[in-house]
């Protein structure tokens, strides 16, 4: 397993903060699980339900979230603009966010997520 830590704050990211926050808030998915353990601060993951509605999940110090591969989501900090998280990976990290688009709906990770979600209902 691989891991690293990320701090999202204006102080830590400097001039890149605004662009980074906008990138995180753009709706996207990943081809691998996204596993985050919150070490400090607070933030929100918004995830799409199977009905394509947003569900907001508040995260604070000590919380763990595991987003399955293929789920559309976005992230933002709370009003304090600070969060520190440990990012965990099964294998080598794959950082590529795939922004929501019709062609992304057809990639294997998305199709597998939809299939697993519909079976669970």
Which position has the higher pLDDT, 117 or 93? 117
Token digits of residue 55: 């569900």
Q: What is the pLDDT of residues 65-107, one digit of tens each?
A: 999 999 999 999 999 999 999 999 877 766 689 999 999 999 9
Q: Tell me which of 60 and 1 has the higher pLDDT.
A: 60
Each residue's pLDDT tens digit, 22-58: 999 999 999 999 999 999 999 999 999 989 999 999 9
Predicted confidence at residue 73, as pLDDT, reads 97
Q: Which residues contact 1 (CB under 8 A, 6 or more apart)?
A: 88, 89, 90
pLDDT, average across residues 6-29: 95
Please state the pTM of the whole predicted model: 0.91
State the Rg of the chain over Cα: 14
């Amino acid at each position: 397993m691989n891991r690293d830590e990320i701090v999202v704050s204006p102080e830590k990211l400097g001039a890149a903060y605004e662009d980074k926050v906008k990138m995180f808030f753009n709706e996207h998915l990943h081809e691998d699980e996204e596993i985050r353990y919150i070490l400090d601060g607070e933030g929100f993951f918004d995830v799409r339900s199977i009905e394509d509605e947003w569900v907001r999940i508040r995260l604070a110090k000590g919380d763990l979230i595991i987003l399955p591969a293929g789920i559309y989501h976005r992230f933002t900090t709370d009003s304090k603009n600070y969060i520190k998280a440990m990012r965990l990976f099964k294998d080598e990290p794959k950082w590529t966010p795939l922004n929501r688009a019709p062609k992304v709906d057809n990639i294997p990770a998305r199709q597998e997520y939809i299939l697993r979600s519909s079976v669970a209902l």
